[in-house]
């Protein structure tokens, strides 16, 4: 389990673009589960959409990518010292689908599993749920590179 302080030691993202609040399960090389609490106070809701707030699909995909980035970096086999010199770049997001809208007050749960893993490359199956209902899914491909 990782809280937001530990997540910030792994990912370079910060408010308002850190989109993972907590990691509840991590099985290195296999899968990760984490979540984001979607709040009406988030800046994105000022314009998406006034009077009818919907959390943007691109933000859901970014949250999946961030959770997947944590999994990739933790599964890479690099030492903690080596990881300080690395960053993860997403190369592609394929087959993205949006099933249901996400609204303020929802807890967005990311479930990311490994399809393929090499030291510097990872292919992930990403799914996002609200109340155990699938809201989005995609296949994500990323590389771990030097900063």
Lookup: tokens for 68? 């997947």
Catalytic residue positions? 48
Residue 44 phi/psi, 5-degree rounding, is -60, -25
Coarse DSSP helix, strand, coil percentages of the chain, rounded to the nearest 5 percent: 25, 40, 35
| CA proximity to 30, closest of 117, 90, 127, 108 | 117
């Amino acid at each position: 389990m990782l809280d937001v302080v530990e997540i910030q030691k792994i990912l370079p993202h910060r408010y308002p673009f850190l989109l993972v609040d907590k990691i509840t399960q991590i099985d290195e090389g296999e899968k990760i589960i984490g979540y984001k609490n979607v709040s009406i106070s988030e800046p994105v809701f000022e314009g998406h959409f006034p009077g009818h707030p919907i959390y943007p699909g691109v933000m859901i995909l970014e949250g999946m990518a961030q959770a997947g980035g944590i999994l990739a970096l933790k599964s890479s086999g690099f030492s903690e010292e080596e990881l300080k010199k690395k960053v993860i770049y997403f190369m592609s997001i394929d087959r993205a689908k949006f099933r249901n809208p996400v609204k303020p007050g929802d807890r967005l749960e990311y479930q990311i599993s490994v399809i393929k893993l090499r030291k510097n490359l990872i292919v992930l199956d990403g799914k996002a749920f609200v109340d155990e209902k699938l809201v989005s899914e995609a296949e994500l491909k990323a590389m771990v590179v030097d900063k």
